[in-house]
Amino acid sequence: MTKAAAGAGPSWFQRFLLPGFAFKAVIIGGGYATGRELAEFFLPSGPWGGLAGMILAMLIWSVVAAATFLFARMTGARDYRSFFEALLGRGWAVFEIAYILFIVLILAVFGAAAGAIAQAALGLPPIIGTLALMAGIATFAGYGNTAVEQLFKYVSFLLYGVYALFLVLALSGFGERIATGFALPAVSDGWALGGITYAGYNIIGAVVILPVLRHMTSDRDAIVAGLIAGPLAMIPAIIFFVCMIAFYPQIGAEVLPSDYLLTQLGNPIFHLLFQLMIFAALLESGTGAVHAVNERVAKAWHIRRGAVLGNGWRLTIAIALLVMCMLLADRFGLVTLIAKGYRALAYIFLAVYVLPLMTLGVFRLWRRGNPAPEVL
């Protein structure tokens, strides 16, 4: 093989880091980026208990992601339908129904969040922010895998950079308060339940981002990428949580902990930059969810018609899905209806994804590596 040919293969970034960036992209959304989810799941266990819960969730993500990537590689699955057909047989339909309901809910929430950002940061009508997010998601999802992967890459650089700068500003602005917060006597009960619940609530991201696994060249790639995915997704959350402790416990009652902390920093330029980062996080999360649907449709399209799903069809599907979720779902009360059953959806994902994967899936992976002896 020539050097040119060898250089044309997947890069180490595509093999090892891209899956973790994509996983982070799907789960960060509005609740993680604004700190609301962190206040909900981890702050009740106190500073040290909250950190313990986050580390536990991170480890669960890494283990399940590694198993997911390995099973997907073994079965050749590059979309969620193929993955669950291999894992559950005809039971794959249960996951798809739950996933569609999940998408309706999160895209509607993302649209509302983008509208709130446009209004708060720029003084624009909320519909402008919602339409801008829709246009961004449709554009990236419409151009397929390469565009989506570039989005994950560059938004990740922005996100990690903003969180790193946030930590520096927070330490210089109220670092002593952070140290005081960690020294406070606080109940740490419930940290394990909080970590397990939060991990289960978000682990769906590992199967949503299967299209980016196309660059992997070996089982080692799958294992390393899966183990890295947990830290890549959780490090920004840990940074934010540490900064939140400066105003523990009162910050737990704030609807938007990010706005509260940014107001305390008193830096309008960074406040605007952080709002931009949240919008970018909504963009990559929404794009990841819609792209997973496009890839599922593309597989069915190829099987039935023997053709590749074109960018025009990808764009059409993305726009139809976004209009249904962001503009119509809330008006017809679907968001409220689905939100009431959100925990039920989380339990369904655990029942049809995590439990079968970590039992039947892992057993099949073990059998593949340890074939039964031939009968003479």
Q: Which of the four pLDDT bands, split at 50, 70 and 90, describes residue 371?
A: very low
* pLDDT 10s digits, 12-33: 999 999 999 999 988 887 567 7
Q: Confidence class of residue 372 from pLDDT cuts 50, 70 and 90? A: very low
pLDDT of residue 134: 94
Residue 121 has pLDDT above 90, yes or no: no
CA 49 from chain centre, in angstroms, equals 23
Choose the weakest-confidence range: 149-158, 243-252, 320-329, 356-365: 320-329
- The answer to whether residues 39 and 252 touch, using CB atoms and an 8 Å cutoff, is yes
Collapsing DSSP to helix, strand or coil, 153 comes out as helix
Structure tokens at 153: 């890459």
In angstroms, what CA-CA distances link 88 with 95, 213, 308, 353?
10, 21, 26, 9
- Cβ(230)–Cβ(65) under 8 Å? yes
**pLDDT tens digits, residue range 284-342?**
999 999 999 999 898 888 888 888 888 899 999 999 999 988 887 666 665 565 566 66
Q: Could you give all domains of the chain from N- to C-terminal order, each with its CATH number?
A: 13-354 (1.20.1740.10)
* pTM of the full structure: 0.88
Name the CA dihedral angle for 151, 288, 203, 31, rounded to a multiple of 10 degrees. 80
Measured in whole angstroms, the distance separating CA 286 from the mean position of its chain's CA atoms is: 9
Q: Which amino acid is at 206?
A: A
Burial 228-242 (b: 16+ CB within 10 A, else e): bbbbbbbbbbbbbbb
As a whole number of angstroms, the distance between CA 294 and CA 315 comes to 9
pLDDT tens digits along 86-99: 999 988 899 888 88
